[in-house]
Chains A and B, each alone.
Chain A
Amino acid sequence: MTYLAKPKLHHPSLPKNKVGYTRRDYEGAISTLCAGCGHDSISAAIVQACFELDIEPHRVAKLSGIGCSSKTPTYFLGNSHGFNSVHGRMPSVLTGANLANRDLLYLGVSGDGDSASIGIGQFVHCIRRGVNMVYIVENNGVYGLTKGQFSATADRGSKSKRGAVNADSAVDMVALALQLGATYVARSFSGDKAQLVPLIKGAIEHRGAAFLDVISPCVAFNNHEGSTKSYDYIREHNEAVNRIDFISPRAPITTDYEPGSVQEVLQPDGSVLRLRKLAADYDPHNRIAVMNYLQEHQARGEVVTGLLYVDPEAHDLHAHLNTVAAPLNQLDEAALCPGSKVLEQINASLR
């Protein structure tokens, strides 16, 4: 499919961020997804988060698998390198890319078909390893590009557009991520930008495996009555446990809060996440309590959203592997090749 490129000209009065870019500099090509697709809202949220965090676009690598969600990296961050890999295999490609250059920011975009079915193994293992990344699943419970088959995150009892009822249990990506040791876990809704943008920002600032399950209704195949991933259903059942008010290393507190209703989370990179509690008894630092809370509330039919879990002392894969600070892709012969003298010693030991 071809389309007209967006004009590159910007209005001179467009505000610039601290690194000199306007919001338009974070956009990509025009989306070819259906009008009203939740995924486009997520792309817009990524654009806003990167713009507001003053990230240089070329310092981001965006990777995806196959599916509607995996097409979206074309529609944001046009000045970043992107990689549309094979179905379900974005996590391994991202892991390799991250190993090659630890200095870039890695944004993995996937869907529920890509990550909960064909790619569930790779999802599991890249979370286990603690790859420093933002892993977003744009979750609509349905295969869009192949026209409406149930995906593995479709809830039992949810009805397809053709009227079939799903009899299989749903894969809960958030529960999996928590069990596997993700150090930043959030769930949000593509229709709630005010919640989503700060969650993405928090994930970007996090140094470790950050996982976001974003419910993103499919207007073409899964937005009807009887679906548990429709706009209406999610709006009715969304129960946010907290709100990130802002993330900043420096910004002063400007709002008054009820005592005990605010929790500040110091991230490993020095930034501060300010969480406004909506559920009074919710502690996002206690992994086991979080898992219990989610199970209990989901059993009541609630879609629990917010920053569900964060480990302020997270370590990433590079820490586990004790790799050098310099990106591996920048090491030269002197750093990598032991040379002929050492080889002679090795030869001598083999006689």
Chain B
Amino acid sequence: MPKQIQRTNDFVVKFANVNGSGSASANELFAKAILRMGVPVSPRNIFPSNIQGLPTWYEARVSEAGYLGRRGSVDMMVAMNPQTWDQDVKEIEPGGYLFYDSSKPLPQSKFRDDINVIGVPLTEICNREYSDPRQRQLFKNIIYVGVLSALLEIDPAEIEKLFSEQYKGKEKLLASNIKALHMGRDYAQANLTCPSGLRVQRSDKVGKQIFIDGNSAAALGCVYGGATVAAWYPITPSSSLAEAFGRYCSKLRVDKETGENRYAIIQAEDELASVGIVIGAAWNGARAFTATSGPGISLMSEFIGLAYFAEIPAVIIDVQRGGPSTGMPTRTQQSDILACAYASHGDTKHVLLFPEDPNECFQMTASALDLADRLQTPVFVMTDLDIGMNQRLCAPLEWDDARQMDRGKVMTREDLDAGKPFGRYTDVDGDGIPYRTYPGTHPTRGAYFTRGTTKDIHAKYSEDGAVYVYNMQRLLKKFESAKSLVPAPVLRAGDSPSKFGVIYFGSTSPAMDEALDMLAELGIPVDALRVRAFPFNETVDDFIAEHEQVFVVEQNRDAQLHKLLVNECAIERSKLLPVLHFDGTPITARFIVGDIEEKLRLFNVTPIKKVAS
């Protein structure tokens, strides 16, 4: 008899499925039922570049402590895909559980001695109960959720409630789903030891939090932030953002009387056209955005430079992923930092925002629309696949109804009639930000010709070197002004003073929160600074100055944020130590702690306690 892992409200269940088998909605049901019991869950989809047939996984971490980062290793594997059996069985912790479809007998060699095997003849039950092949497939998923509810003590009433919300008005579907659920539960209760060592116990740790994917939240941010023009080209993992924008707009942005749309969405022919449309719309005074990923940024680069030099607002949401082509691109990374910070040619720098979760995706896309208008420049919202395409528990979205769009420095017809002088690229206020007019504003004043680099302060064509230098210096001044306008970094000081600091950003956040607790428990207090934007606020320089060594944790090979810090801050390069994770899986607290511990050994710092596995 192998040992049995005993854990309540703190374990990982991983589902190994076949893409296109309808497992996604059953797995989401599983996660939501646990959330409804007041216990935080963070699920992650690990999917191939494929529509049907290839392996796909859904990894759900149950954590009453609220740790939403990926944990690593698996306490229970729901092995529904023969293709990946060996790999899946291997991943289970000793003493963990393997739940599989036992309809066909498997040789003993396919199992392990140190895990607990739970076989349920799912296919057999389905074949007996259903004749339609599609039903057999779909209800098989629901039946395994039923078995799991018995094994893990998930309240079936919560699952039934979720069904009734989902199938409102479709009574037949509701009844058949409830039936399938109980078929699984009944089988488990009659034939298996229930509960297993893994249990869910009702708690109150979810509260008012919501469960939403970052792409949907960012799309809502665009709706609330007043974007009217969206142009995009399909690319994983950003496509669902543009699609969510369309869905929300069709509900929230249609004129009730006329049925007409207060938005325009173009699925463009490529990313060049997407950003071109955004730039054209923003030049003409509409709020506009595009959503893309790394390869899209590469294609947009020429236009991004034009928008930078011609000073046209543009919001570009980069849902980051692995590099070119297909395959790794359905895995997460933070590997476009440098590509976006310095996108284009001829001396360019851009504003980047780094949301940590869906809530900040919402806030920061709305803010990006304001910032782009205020600064008259492209603004990037740097999310990634981990935040973008996974539902994540986060604070509810909030909106202040008194908030108004900041349209930046725009001269109106009234301003021009009042005789205010207008020079498109004049630094009137000393902050490097000029005034603009929208086309069509005034019959005789305020018209100007938009070009890239070659113009004077009145937008007149000029190839004069001094004129060019003046303009380039003003753009630098504008970038300085951005420092105080972008979201400030968030400091999390350790419990006691520390000579070690850690800088992190974006989707590393939940793993870092957990890692900081683990480090504190090990007796290694570390101060942490979550960077939320580029250009870096001065507090970033201060934070580095105040610590002897600063770890920079990021999810890419080349230490891109580290390089950006070295480049842009007045700091000692040797102070910064990169902690890099880039295998395509989301970073874990265990990885961060392990890597930091190893590096600390170089400084003769030994943990008081050994890290618990």
Return the contact of B284 from the options A101, A323, A332 (Cβ within 8 A): A101
Q: Specify which chain B residues have a CB less than 8 angstroms from the CB of A82 in the assembled complex.
A: 447-450
Q: Specify which chain A residues have a CB less than 8 angstroms from the CB of B449 in the assembled complex.
A: 73-74, 81-84
A residues 321-339 touching B (CB-CB < 8 Å)? 321-325, 328-333, 335-339
Surface stretch bound by B, among A52-60, A242-250, A292-300, A302-310: A52-60
Q: B281 near A: Cβ within 8 Å?
A: yes
Q: B451 near A: Cβ within 8 Å?
A: yes
Query: Are the CB atoms of A85 and B284 closer together than 8 Å?
Result: no
A residues 82-113 touching B (CB-CB < 8 Å)? 82-86, 89, 91-101, 103-104
Interchain nearest-CB distance for A315 vs B (Å): 14
Q: Specify which chain A residues have a CB less than 8 angstroms from the CB of B399 in the assembled complex.
A: 337, 339-340, 343
Interchain nearest-CB distance for B478 vs A (Å): 21
Query: Are the CB atoms of A96 and B443 closer together than 8 Å?
Result: no
Query: Are the CB atoms of A58 and B441 closer together than 8 Å?
Result: yes
Rounded to whole angstroms, the CA-CA distance of A85 and B180 in the bound complex is 60
Contact A101:B444 (CB < 8 A) given known A322-B261, A329-B228, A338-B223: no
Return the contact of B438 from the options A86, A89, A93, A329 (Cβ within 8 A): A329
Interchain nearest-CB distance for B407 vs A (Å): 10
Surface stretch bound by B, among A121-129, A148-156, A257-265, A276-284: A121-129
Query: Are the CB atoms of B443 and A56 closer together than 8 Å?
Result: yes
Closest to B443 in A: A58
Q: Specify which chain B residues have a CB less than 8 angstroms from the CB of A329 in the assembled complex.
A: 228, 281, 284-286, 438
Q: B288 near A: Cβ within 8 Å?
A: yes
Closest to A340 in B: B399
Return the contact of A85 from the options B229, B265, B266, B276 (Cβ within 8 A): B276
Query: Are the CB atoms of A324 and B261 closer together than 8 Å?
Result: yes
Query: Are the CB atoms of A83 and B443 closer together than 8 Å?
Result: no
B residues 179-214 touching A (CB-CB < 8 Å)? 206, 208-212
Contact A324:B461 (CB < 8 A) given known A74-B449, A80-B447: no
Q: Specify which chain A residues have a CB less than 8 angstroms from the CB of B401 in the assembled complex.
A: 339-340
Query: Are the CB atoms of A93 and B211 closer together than 8 Å?
Result: no
Query: Are the CB atoms of A321 and B288 closer together than 8 Å?
Result: no
Q: B272 near A: Cβ within 8 Å?
A: yes
Interchain nearest-CB distance for A261 vs B (Å): 41
Surface stretch bound by A, among B250-258, B494-502, B518-526, B553-561: B250-258
Interchain nearest-CB distance for B221 vs A (Å): 11
Query: B262-281 interface mask toward A, CB cutoff 8 Å, 1 = contact, 0 = none?
Result: 11111011101111111111
Closest to A122 in B: B273
Closest to B273 in A: A92
Q: Specify which chain A residues have a CB less than 8 angstroms from the CB of B253 in the assembled complex.
A: 336, 338
Residues of chain B whose beta carbon lies under 8 Å from any beta carbon of chain A: 35-36, 206, 208-212, 220, 223-226, 228-229, 231, 252-253, 255, 258-266, 268-270, 272-286, 288, 302-303, 306, 396-401, 403-405, 437-444, 447-452, 461-464
What are the nearest 10 A-B pairs in CB distance? A96-B280, A92-B276, A100-B286, A81-B439, A329-B285, A96-B281, A93-B280, A100-B284, A96-B277, A350-B210
Residues of chain A whose beta carbon lies under 8 Å from any beta carbon of chain B: 1-2, 29, 56-59, 61, 63, 73-74, 78-86, 89, 91-101, 103-104, 121-122, 124-125, 129, 318, 321-325, 328-333, 335-340, 342-344, 346-347, 350-351
Known: A98-B280, A324-B260, A339-B401. 5 other contacts (CB 8 A): A81-B438, A81-B450, A100-B229, A129-B266, A343-B220
11 of the cross-chain contacts (CB-CB < 8 Å) are A79-B447, A81-B438, A82-B448, A91-B276, A92-B280, A99-B229, A101-B286, A125-B268, A321-B265, A329-B281, A350-B212
